[in-house]
Amino acid sequence: MGLSEAGIRELRELYKKREATPGQVVDELLRKIDKLNPRLHAFITVDHDAVYEQVRQAEQALGRPDAPVLCGIPIAIKDIFTTIGMRTTCASKILENFVPPYDATIVRKLKAAGAIILGKTNMDEFAMGSSTETSAFGPTRNPWKPDAVPGGSSGGSASAVAACMVPGALGTDTGGSIRQPAALCGIVGLKPTYGRVSRYGMIAFASSLDQGGTMTRSVYDSALLLEAIAGFDPLDSTSADMPVEPYSQLLARPRELRVGVPREYFVEGMDADVQASIQGAIETVKELGARIVDISLPHTRYAVAVYYILASSEASSNLARYDGVKYGSRSGPAQDLNNMYKDTRAKGFGREVRRRIMLGTFALSAGYYAAFYGKAQRARRLIQQDFDTAFGQCDVILAPTSPSPAFKLGAKLDDPLKMYLSDIFTIPLNLAGLPGVSIPCGFTKEGLPMGMQIIGRQFDEKTILSFADMYEQATTWHTRTPAI
């Protein structure tokens, strides 16, 4: 195994035994990025000087007995998190030249834990998309099949981790943007409970749904990263004041093994390979001692519509700040103030972002507010209640992450509705604020990875990670790497 294939856990071992140094690891990763990034375009920004400055500090700290837990571990950051002194674009032209004066809380926490920030990863513009094709800087590709999408919006992080350009990355998940690309790239993607991780410095898309999380090649590594980034933050009024558990040390076989399988998640038109992989996973967890419980989440069919009303409404409000005065690069000279705003926003935002702003503005406008926004809020509550009821009968829920494996670049770009339906299984969790982890559960005949999600009760990351770890130990899907 080369150094680039080593996960976070293995790297820590190697450092401890003095069999590798952060400098050697970073050399190898940067070589790999130089070789693969022109093809995969997973990274938007990699600043070699800044990386080696961090390597120098990590190598000094590693020798000390109080070296922090992620000392010398390279991590990539989705370009939606602000990084002090390092360009943060959100994959939008409007933020092309934005160099933040502060770190997002979870970036600050990673640095405090000793991690090396390797670079900023590509994404759908403002995290709006399911394929990383709406990036203003060009699409990311899937390392398993470069003419396929990596999923999105955290597609750069997923592609980078899957192609072993970095052992772990941060992503964000508003409607599936960590879990769906993780599934399509064959890695582990964890969306924590809403409020578990601070949103401070995470550029806002839909504030009642946005949540940062981890993307790694093993469940253990995600548990370890979650420990480092989770916790209450006075700078985020919605962050939860709940104790953070030492997740990586709690990965024991879960005691309760009632596994709910929601009827409504086996929809017509679902890809046959995905269906078969989930059936296979159900058999595996049965052999591991789980009791399968047939559950119903009856309002699932409203989730996509509810999400696109609420997320777009919140986005239209959040994105009002990019006007060329308060935020965002201003477009050239205009006749007057109003035209300056119009030009700036028309040129700075891509098509999908403009579509969401229009949808959201419409849903919130006088006369339509009650019919759209108000109704969607009420339906959101019903979707939450579905889960409350289901968790009376089971301890975790097992479901497909995405209805299809990675699709070809361009296949859905011109059909927004088709693209929106990619999130059909991931969106309900965001609406309910629940944690979910996607883990590899099979490959299609063409060799594309597929994922399943394990969904838990609020703030019960411990159980879903333990369950996912148990499945991972019993299978070998996660050990395959793309041949790229």
Active site residues: 78, 153, 177
Q: Is 311 an interacting residue with respect to ligand GLN (CB under 6 A)?
A: yes
Q: Minimum distance between the CB of residue 436 and ligand GLN, rounded to whole angstroms?
A: 12
* CA 255 – CA 233 distance, rounded (Å): 32
Q: Minimum distance between the CB of residue 168 and ligand GLN, rounded to whole angstroms?
A: 19
Strand partners, 399: 453
The smaller minimum CB distance to ligand GLN, of residues 209 and 219, is found at: 209
Q: Which two tokens stand for residue 235?
A: 């700078």
Q: Is 119 an interacting residue with respect to ligand GLN (CB under 6 A)?
A: no
- Binding residue (CB under 6 A) for ligand GLN from 129, 155, 428, 449: 129
Question: For 420, what's the count of Cα atoms within 13 Å in the CB-facing half-sphere?
Answer: 16
Q: Is 309 an interacting residue with respect to ligand GLN (CB under 6 A)?
A: no
Burial of 421 (0-12, 13-18, 19+ CB in 10 A): middle
Please, are residues 116 and 210 in contact by the beta-carbon 8 Å criterion?
no
Q: Is 128 an interacting residue with respect to ligand GLN (CB under 6 A)?
A: yes
Q: Of 21-29, 126-134, 285-293, 325-333, which part binds ligand GLN (CB under 6 A)?
A: 126-134
> CA triplet 468, 469, 470: central angle to 5 degrees?
90
Residues in Cβ contact with 95 at an 8 Å cutoff, skipping those fewer than 6 apart: 88, 89, 203, 322, 327, 328, 329
> CA triplet 174, 177, 178: central angle to 5 degrees?
110
Amino acid in the structure at residue 475: T
The label of the residue with tokens 């986005």 reads 315
Q: Is 224 an interacting residue with respect to ligand GLN (CB under 6 A)?
A: no
Q: Of 107-115, 139-147, 170-178, 432-440, which part binds ligand GLN (CB under 6 A)?
A: 170-178
Q: Of 159-167, 172-180, 402-410, 471-479, which part binds ligand GLN (CB under 6 A)?
A: 172-180
Question: For 74, what's the count of Cα atoms within 13 Å in the CB-facing half-sphere?
Answer: 34
Q: Is 401 an interacting residue with respect to ligand GLN (CB under 6 A)?
A: no
Q: Is 4 an interacting residue with respect to ligand GLN (CB under 6 A)?
A: no
Count of residues touching ligand GLN (by CB under 6 A): 14
Q: Is 306 an interacting residue with respect to ligand GLN (CB under 6 A)?
A: no
Task: Fill in the per-residue mask, 416 to 435: x = in contact with ligand GLN (CB under 6 A), - = not in contact.
Answer: -------x------------
Please, are residues 212 and 110 in contact by the beta-carbon 8 Å criterion?
no
Q: Is the peptide bond before 153 cis (omega within 30 degrees of 0)?
A: yes
Q: Is 176 an interacting residue with respect to ligand GLN (CB under 6 A)?
A: yes
End-to-end Cα separation, the chain, in angstroms: 16
- Binding residue (CB under 6 A) for ligand GLN from 83, 140, 153, 466: 153
Q: Is 437 an interacting residue with respect to ligand GLN (CB under 6 A)?
A: no
* CA 222 – CA 366 distance, rounded (Å): 44
Residues 197 to 216 in contact with ligand GLN, rule: CB under 6 A: 205
- Binding residue (CB under 6 A) for ligand GLN from 28, 79, 133, 173: 173
The smaller minimum CB distance to ligand GLN, of residues 219 and 311, is found at: 311
Q: Which helix H or strand E contains 36, and what residues bound it? A: helix 22-40
Strand partners, 449: 443
Q: Is 130 an interacting residue with respect to ligand GLN (CB under 6 A)?
A: yes
The smaller minimum CB distance to ligand GLN, of residues 6 and 419, is found at: 419
The label of the residue with tokens 């597609």 reads 155
The label of the residue with tokens 């070809």 reads 408
Q: Is 314 an interacting residue with respect to ligand GLN (CB under 6 A)?
A: no
- Binding residue (CB under 6 A) for ligand GLN from 11, 104, 106, 127: 127
Q: Is 92 an interacting residue with respect to ligand GLN (CB under 6 A)?
A: no
Residue 458's alpha-carbon distances to 194, 296, 387, 414, 462, in angstroms, are 8, 19, 10, 36, 11
The smaller minimum CB distance to ligand GLN, of residues 211 and 463, is found at: 211
Amino acid in the structure at residue 44: I
Q: Minimum distance between the CB of residue 175 and ligand GLN, rounded to whole angstroms?
A: 3
- The footprint of ligand GLN (CB under 6 A) covers 127-130, 153, 172-177, 205, 311, 423
